[in-house]
A and B are shown apart, each in its own frame.
Chain A
């Protein structure tokens, strides 16, 4: 597989980006750039739409046609772009707060219609840009600025949500596995229909600091342990027989979890 140099795809004049040291969003952005190259997409015909949040700021550094939209409404803007200019490849960068909280409705209806979009949802389990507030994806028990004694609510499973809403390609990947990300993004970009990729990312500045998970390097290792293929086998491994083991950590399934061929919404009457 050829090595892709992503610097030509960056707006170098805008760099360095505003994201914090150790924030894994950049790893995801880089893998996305590689995937657009691998998928053979003309950068002038690639549109990336973003809402509000740290993940959405990333779009400003990608040398594509980019659109910085209102909070949570990136799928709505992207729907408009795709219906007006169906020949363009349209992707959405969204965060967990942006896509699942304020923009939840836009996301599920875009999935229901099976519009030919690729949605990348950066899940760092917290509102990073606004000061570390609890998000709908924050794990139960985790500390955020608004849940100083631990979050009491269950977290959203965005992948189950999107499969239920009708997305025809649903995947989950981790920022700690950049080569897998490149492959999944390439498949998502070439999928015809609504493709949704949840990417487990990190926020060392808020989530990591509040929950004592360390900085960038430690959080990448922590991300790896979210993988059910890692978390559950480790929990099942009994080192000392007579000691009770704590409940298995809730591992997340990674990979392409759902794929189907379904009529794609184009806004036109068929026949």
Chain B
């Protein structure tokens, strides 16, 4: 058998690495040669948590080449899209309907302006074979612990792999915390049987837009000595020194009200003012 490739992708804390260890162990139990490779770190800040597993009679490289994965499992919608190029044409896509918006996608610190892709598998029609869209987190929650969502996803993944249930169960028992073995095996079987959701039934990403907040950077020009401290520490680059080395407020709109300039101004010259009645109180 030529090597089979599986790519698992998610966000830090979802159990991607644990799930890949379970899959690798299940393949080992089934007598295959297995290689596994993972990248993890900073997914919640826009980095990647992805694991490649290849198994077969002989496996040379632990990395699944582009467009060759038999199965891509996305523990989160945007991560599934991100790793889509690894999926072989006609390969199976398993996705948890969960959506986790990375802070890096939040382009506007005062409001939620989020370029998060709509959860719509038809948008990638033609790129994949079977698509299994399940509410793994919801199923795991019903079983008693949302942390078992990774086992639900792996249950759905197992439909496309030739590994026996016994091998999977043995692998799960070896890697999950002892007290949660039964729960995870139950979650695994629930994932095997979970029905594919209709995207139309999935609610919109329920982000409440934050109320707009506007701050006024009140600079007392008579007191300011243009020392340059506030432009050097403003995280949003609201303040700058002009060509004449005079302090100017260049972008008050971008101010998030962090007050670093106010507390680090040695001349008592800056005050961040929230307009009366606005969110954050008057001052």
* Interface set, chain B 255-282, CB cutoff 8 A to A: 259, 263-269, 271
- Asked if A236 is at the interface of the complex by the 8 Å CB criterion, the answer is no
Q: Is the interface of B mostly helix, strand, loop or mixed?
A: loop
* Interface set, chain B 210-249, CB cutoff 8 A to A: 222-229, 231-233
- Asked if A20 is at the interface of the complex by the 8 Å CB criterion, the answer is yes
- Asked if B283 is at the interface of the complex by the 8 Å CB criterion, the answer is yes
B263 engages A26 (CB within 8 Å): no
A17 with B263, Cβ < 8 A, contacts A215-B228, A216-B227 known: no
Binds B, one of A2-10, A147-155, A240-248, A256-264: A2-10
**A61 CA to B265 CA in the complex, in Å?**
15
Q: Report the minimal beta-carbon distance from B264 to chain A, rounded to whole angstroms.
A: 6
CB nearest neighbor in B for A28: B266
B268 engages A10 (CB within 8 Å): yes
CB nearest neighbor in A for B221: A16
**A20 CA to B266 CA in the complex, in Å?**
9
A22 with B229, Cβ < 8 A, contacts A3-B283, A30-B263, A178-B263 known: yes
CB nearest neighbor in A for B225: A21
A179 engages B263 (CB within 8 Å): yes
Range for the number of chain B residues in contact with chain A? 20 to 34
Q: What would 22 A/B residue contacts be, using CB atoms closer than 8 Å?
A: A5-B271, A10-B268, A15-B222, A15-B223, A16-B223, A16-B267, A19-B266, A21-B267, A22-B227, A26-B268, A27-B264, A30-B263, A30-B266, A30-B268, A61-B268, A178-B264, A215-B227, A215-B228, A216-B228, A216-B266, A217-B227, A217-B233
A26 engages B271 (CB within 8 Å): no
Give the chain A neighbours of B227 by CB distance below 8 A.
21-23, 204, 215-217
Give the chain A neighbours of B271 by CB distance below 8 A.
5, 7
B223 engages A27 (CB within 8 Å): no
**A22 CA to B224 CA in the complex, in Å?**
10
- Asked if A220 is at the interface of the complex by the 8 Å CB criterion, the answer is yes
B265 engages A27 (CB within 8 Å): yes
By a beta-carbon cutoff of 8 Å, the part of chain A in contact with chain B is: 3, 5-7, 10, 15-17, 19-27, 29-31, 61, 176, 178-179, 204, 215-217, 220
Q: Which residue of A7, A10, A61, A216 is within 8 Å of B229 (Cβ)?
A: A216
Q: Report the minimal beta-carbon distance from B137 to chain A, rounded to whole angstroms.
A: 36
Give the chain A neighbours of B222 by CB distance below 8 A.
15-16
Give the chain B neighbours of A10 by CB distance below 8 A.
268
Give the chain A neighbours of B223 by CB distance below 8 A.
15-17
Given contacts A16-B223, A19-B266, A178-B263, 4 further A-B contacts (CB under 8 A): A6-B268, A15-B222, A22-B228, A217-B231
B226 engages A21 (CB within 8 Å): yes
CB nearest neighbor in B for A16: B223
Give the chain B neighbours of A61 by CB distance below 8 A.
268
Q: Which residue of B228, B231, B233, B265 is within 8 Å of A26 (Cβ)?
A: B265
Q: Report the minimal beta-carbon distance from A129 to chain B, rounded to whole angstroms.
A: 16
CB nearest neighbor in A for B260: A178
Which 8 A-B pairs give the minimum distances between C-beta atoms?
Answer: A26-B266, A217-B232, A21-B225, A22-B227, A21-B227, A178-B263, A16-B223, A216-B227
Give the chain B neighbours of A16 by CB distance below 8 A.
222-225, 267, 269
Q: Report the minimal beta-carbon distance from A233 to chain B, rounded to whole angstroms.
A: 20
**A178 CA to B263 CA in the complex, in Å?**
6
Give the chain B neighbours of A6 by CB distance below 8 A.
268
B225 engages A24 (CB within 8 Å): no
Q: Report the minimal beta-carbon distance from A117 to chain B, rounded to whole angstroms.
A: 25
Give the chain A neighbours of B226 by CB distance below 8 A.
21
**A31 CA to B266 CA in the complex, in Å?**
10
Q: Report the minimal beta-carbon distance from A250 to chain B, rounded to whole angstroms.
A: 25
Give the chain A neighbours of B263 by CB distance below 8 A.
27, 30-31, 178-179
Q: Report the minimal beta-carbon distance from B185 to chain A, rounded to whole angstroms.
A: 45
Q: Report the minimal beta-carbon distance from B261 to chain A, rounded to whole angstroms.
A: 11
